Amino acid sequence: MTPHPHPDPAPGSPDGPPPAGDRAPSVGVSGIIKRFGEVQAIGGVTLDFPAGQVTALMGENGAGKSTLLKILTGDHQPTEGHVVVDGEPVTLDSPARARAAGIRIIPQEPEIVPHISVAENVYAGALPRKRGRLLDRAELDRRIRADLERLGFAHVLDPDLLGSQLTPAQRQLVEIMRALTGGTTARLIAFDEPTSSLSEHEVDALFALIRRLRDEGIAIVYVSHRMQEIFQLADRIAVLRDGTLVGVQDAATTDEGELVRLMVGRDLSTMFVRQRVATDRLVLDVQNLTTDDVSDISLRVHAGEVVGLAGLIGAGRSELALALAGDLPVRAGTVTLDGVRLRSGRPGDVIRAGLGLAPEERKAQALFLQQSIKENASLVVLDRLRRFRFVRRTAERRLAQEFSDRLRVRTPSIDHEVRKLSGGNQQKVVLARWLARKPKVLILDEPTRGIDVGAKAEIYQIIADLAAEGVAVLVISSELPELLGLADRVVVMQGGRITGELDRGEATEEAILELAMADDIVGAAPGASS
């Protein structure tokens, strides 16, 4: 791979920010060690976050990124070492102390109170009062409108909207406003996987804001698994592995291969290598399928074949998957699974026929987060585990343990709550559920979204193993290199219709994008969203 050119003026250029050596670090950590009992989560990390630069913090799940952020924000105290602000060690024994020191974090899942307004969410804990405890609504309105104008959010955020009415992007903006308002000036703002639920347009707007904050002299820490974002945004990239700092790279002169090697300690250039095992046995046959979101869809998937489904946001890929799974009504056309015609709107029948769906939003659509790995993994096979209407608990444990071990779910126990797992391990629990069901067709919608590169390689191996066992796999992904590496064929959608199909030998990113952006589609289905 070749180094990625930096999209903004390089540090030290006439139009860019000064190089790191020309600025004193605004915030940093020195000799940080953090132990939880006998487990060492961070081992001796020393790292500065220069003012006016974006430092990307990368590493696999479990590398120590979240622990380091929590030390910076006062949620955890280091076992050894200290946080440094403007060259002086400080004690951050609470989030309030960290905020007073000018350190803020924008969490991956914003904490928004649903029944109060944007203005009240922004100033929660510091609302203006009059005559004792009464809320001064006039002063609140003056403050929020002034801050919206100052930050450039006035055209995208209505201060009177309730928290429950906000889009994911607007929820992010409320968290950002919290970070940038109050009595102290922000020195460092950390963004933790901020784009996981944003559209491409919203991502562009967020990046513009982050660059503006950087140019105002704020130190930015950016945590993401998405390589493309890192190279778009970062000035420097710090990589953690197993709780230690293994390298700090200049974003303008490094490449993806080097970052992967630092993160996982090995070269993953062969992670997509697999043998073609597709057979002539037709398993999934979709003919002229039409719903409220997609029109006239026809596609076939054979046993042992991996078919990629590509398209831009709005193409209708997820809606097609939900229709195939019986979750959305079909207005016309047929779906046949291994010779049996499926009925629309009957997801239970679809599952029994042998089709499984791992949806895009695993937390909201696939997992019961408060329940255990065991309970989640056995969910679709309870009918096979019952005897006289009672679930055989020993058989349930044996099954859950078997597939947890097979997929290498990293957990203390199958009784562990799913909400406490990393994104990659949560996805493995979803896959364990369907492997236990032994499906004939498995649809995977964005199977590696929000998980680290090491876990991605494991998911890719699972997909290859499924194909080798004769399962027909349909993979929906917005990451074109992923589709190109996994798929025997790529089917491209745009505006709710299929615009083309590419065999493995002819599929390239350019060819897929040309079909995904086709402008001659007439009568595209309304309402398609992904």
Residues 223 and 107 in one domain: yes
- Per residue in 94-119, pLDDT (tens digit) is 988 998 888 988 887 778 899 999 99
The pLDDT value recorded for residue 21 is: 39
User: Does 226 lie in the same domain as 127?
Assistant: no
Domain that includes residue 405, residue range: 369-432
Closest CA to 119 of 95, 155, 147, 149: 147
Residue 10 domain flag: no
519 token code pair: 């402008």
Beta carbons of 267 and 260 less than 8 angstroms apart: yes
Contact 116, 163 (CB under 8 A): yes
> Is residue 142 one of the residues assigned to a domain?
yes
Burial class (CB in 10 A: 0-12, 13-18, 19+), 477: buried
Is 468 found in the same domain as 493?
yes
Give the per-residue pLDDT at 57.
Answer: 94
Answer yes or no: is 59 within a domain: yes
Where a domain ends, among 264, 292, 315? 264
For residues 100 and 128, membership in a common domain is answered with no
| Calpha distance 457→144 (Å, rounded) | 46
Tokens of 416: 């562990």
Residue 322 lies in a domain: yes
Q: How confident is the model at residue 189, as a pLDDT?
A: 92
Same domain, 349 and 389: no
CATH number at residue 60: 3.40.50.300
Q: Which residues, given as ranges, of the chain have pLDDT below 50?
A: 1-24, 520-530
In a domain, 362, yes or no: no
Mark which of 229, 264, 299 sits at the end of a domain: 264
Q: Is residue 7 part of a domain?
A: no
Count the domains in the chain.
Answer: 4
The reported pLDDT for the residue numbered 103 is: 92
Kindly state whether residues 90 and 39 are assigned to the same domain: yes
Residue 1 included in any domain: no
Dihedral angle at the C-alpha atoms of 329, 343, 486, 424, nearest 10 degrees? 70
User: Residue 151 has what pLDDT?
Assistant: 80
Pair 325, 387 in one domain: no
Is 183 found in the same domain as 61? yes
pLDDT at res. 364: 78
User: Does one domain contain both 31 and 51?
Assistant: yes
Q: Are residues 324 and 338 in the same domain?
A: yes
Torsion of CA 275, 281, 286, 287, to 10 degrees: 130
Q: Which of 509, 504, 510 is nearest to 305 (CA)?
A: 504
CB 90 within 8 A of CB 82: yes
Residue 3 lies in a domain: no
Which amino acid, one-letter code, is at 135? L
Integer Cα distance of 475 and 455 in angstroms: 17
CA 472 and chain centroid, separation:
25
- Tens of pLDDT along 192-207? 888 876 777 778 878 8
pTM: 0.60
Mark whether 320 and 444 lie in a shared domain: yes
Instruction: Please indicate, yes or no, whether residues 250 and 291 belong to a single structural domain of this protein.
Output: no
Which of 130, 150, 165 lies at the terminal end of a domain, its last residue?
A: 165
